[in-house]
Amino acid sequence: MAKTLSELRVLIDSVDQELLTALNRRAALANEVGELKRHDGSPVFRPEREAQVIHGLQSANQGPLKDSSLALIWREIMSACRALEAPQRVAYLGPKGTYSEEAALRFFGSSIQHVPCTNFDEVFHAATSGAAEFGVIPVENSTEGVVTRSLDLLLNSPLHIVGEISLLVRHHLLRTQASLEGIEVVLAHPQALAQCQHWLTTHLPHAERRAVSSNAEGARLAAGNPAWAGIASERAGAEFGLHIAAQAIQDEAFNRTRFVMVCLPAVMPAPEASGKDCTSLVVSVPNRPGAVHDMLVPLKQHGVSMTRFESRPARSGQWEYFFYIDLQGHPSEPHVAAALQDLRGICAFYKVLGTYPLAD
Ligand SMILES: O=C(O)C(=O)C[C@]1(C(=O)O)C=C[C@@H](O)C=C1
């Protein structure tokens, strides 16, 4: 005979007690790991180990829980265990409710200390000066392309990339009422204004578009003026008590932004190979015919796949460029090491921005 609701709840309560005991056993072990790490000075955050833990559980998973749910649950469990080892302060473009904050929470879990900043330069400064251990910055968007300021900052920074995450970005038009009537000004970060330009031209052709430091800041300002609207996430809307006047107004339905996590090598050295890794570089070659082609030869010769290739002006006035390259693999793999060594030999400028586990 089928169990009643109260019988099922009694069983759930007893499973929860088992989980509680198991989780606290896990947390106590993490505490011991923390002591070991404090003793030998090794980094608390080990994203490659966390990726292995999640992949291991997913391959053992027989359901009914979905693999994606396992990843979310264990991200939080490990975040809480990590916080017991040492608190992680994470800098990102604030205020509360930005996609950068969401990227930070998805990557590190919610047991972090928040260091919201007013622009990307401040995020780099926080992570370089020690005000935060880690910084989170957007590097590219599937509609608008690269976030140029982030790439320029990475070039000269002592910080390196230790992780990445890609978020589906849905922009909503937020204001104090749920209609489009009487909107005079739309406030958002320039990237969001660009990602919604077709919608804005069609639906609010006469509204002024005003660039502000972040989408959440636009939402905050819109909360104080009924003739203003912000473009931001649902979370930002909830944060400032706004209505959604129009939903998902981004011009591309599958608008994604890729974020990277940066820190000083002293806070955390490059993650060890996880089996699914990315290595990011910035290089330049002398301005002569065939130089860019030559730069790609070592990759082909050693069978290394390139997943991204972006150029940025070197600002020398000589039509020279920096090339931002993402390669598949980890420098501990011999074919990747050989390709990097050959590449280094032919580049006028060569810098490894980081090597890290690929986002799921
Ligand atoms: O294995 C470690 O190095 C730990 O510190 C434990 C643990 C975990 O909770 O599993 C926590 C933090 C690290 O980022 C990786 C894993």
pLDDT tens per residue, range 151-169: 999 999 999 999 999 998 8
81, 90, 274, best to mutate for ligand 1 pocket (most atoms within 8 Å of CB): 81
Residue with CA nearest ligand 1 atom 12: 82
Tell me if 187 CB under 6 Å of ligand 1.
no
Residue with CA nearest ligand 1 atom 8: 78
Tell me if 338 CB under 6 Å of ligand 1.
no
Residue with CA nearest ligand 1 atom 6: 30
Whether 123 and 92 have beta carbons less than 8 Å apart is answered as yes
Tell me if 149 CB under 6 Å of ligand 1.
no
The chain-wide mean pLDDT, for the chain, equals 93
Q: Which residues are annotated as catalytic?
A: 257, 259
H-assigned helices in the chain: 5-40, 47-60, 67-85, 99-108, 120-129, 148-156, 190-195, 197-203, 215-222, 234-239, 291-301, 334-346
* Residue 2 DSSP label: P
Q: Do 89-168+256-263 and 172-246 agree at the fold level?
A: yes
pLDDT at 314 exceeding the cut of 90: no
Tell me if 50 CB under 6 Å of ligand 1.
yes
CATH number of 172-246: 3.40.190.10
The average pLDDT across 189-197 equals: 92
Distance 44 CA to ligand 1 centre (A): 7
**Ligand 1 atom closest to residue 30's alpha carbon, by position in its atom list:** 6
**Ligand 1 atom closest to residue 45's alpha carbon, by position in its atom list:** 14
What backbone phi and psi angles, to 5 degrees, belong to 93?
Answer: -70, 115
pLDDT in tens, 116-132: 999 999 999 999 999 99
The average pLDDT across 13-24 equals: 98
Q: Which class is domain 89-168+256-263?
A: alpha beta
The average pLDDT across 297-322 equals: 87
How many Å apart are CA 109 and CA 210, to the nearest integer? 33
Give the pLDDT confidence score for residue 319 in this predicted structure: 66
Query: Could you tell me the residue ranges of all domains in the chain?
Result: 21-85, 89-168+256-263, 172-246, 277-357
pLDDT in tens, 87-110: 899 999 988 888 899 999 999 999
Give the pLDDT confidence score for residue 199 in this predicted structure: 96
Q: Which class is domain 277-357?
A: alpha beta
Tell me if 46 CB under 6 Å of ligand 1.
yes
CB atoms within 10 A of CB 288: 8
Give the pLDDT confidence score for residue 317 in this predicted structure: 66
Say yes or no: domain 21-85 is CATH 1.20.59.10: yes
Q: Whole-model pTM above 0.95?
A: no
Closest alpha carbon to 247 in 314, 175, 318, 188: 175
How many Å apart are CA 139 and CA 148, to the nearest integer? 8
Closest alpha carbon to 88 in 209, 216, 270, 261: 261
pLDDT at 226 exceeding the cut of 90: yes
Burial tier of 114 (Cβ tally within 10 Å: 0-12, 13-18, 19+): middle
Tell me if 30 CB under 6 Å of ligand 1.
yes
How many Å apart are CA 240 and CA 224, to the nearest integer? 10
Q: Annotate 47-85 with b (16+ C-beta within 10 A) or e (fewer).
A: bbebbeebbeeeeeeeeeeeeeebeeebbebbbebbbeb
Tell me if 45 CB under 6 Å of ligand 1.
yes
The average pLDDT across 237-261 equals: 92
82, 88, 133, 272, best to mutate for ligand 1 pocket (most atoms within 8 Å of CB): 82
Does the bond joining 298 to the residue before it have cis omega, within 30 degrees of 0?
A: no
Whether 139 and 354 have beta carbons less than 8 Å apart is answered as no
**Ligand 1 atom closest to residue 29's alpha carbon, by position in its atom list:** 6
ipTM over 0.95: yes
Distance 60 CA to ligand 1 centre (A): 19
23, 26, 39, 85, best to mutate for ligand 1 pocket (most atoms within 8 Å of CB): 85
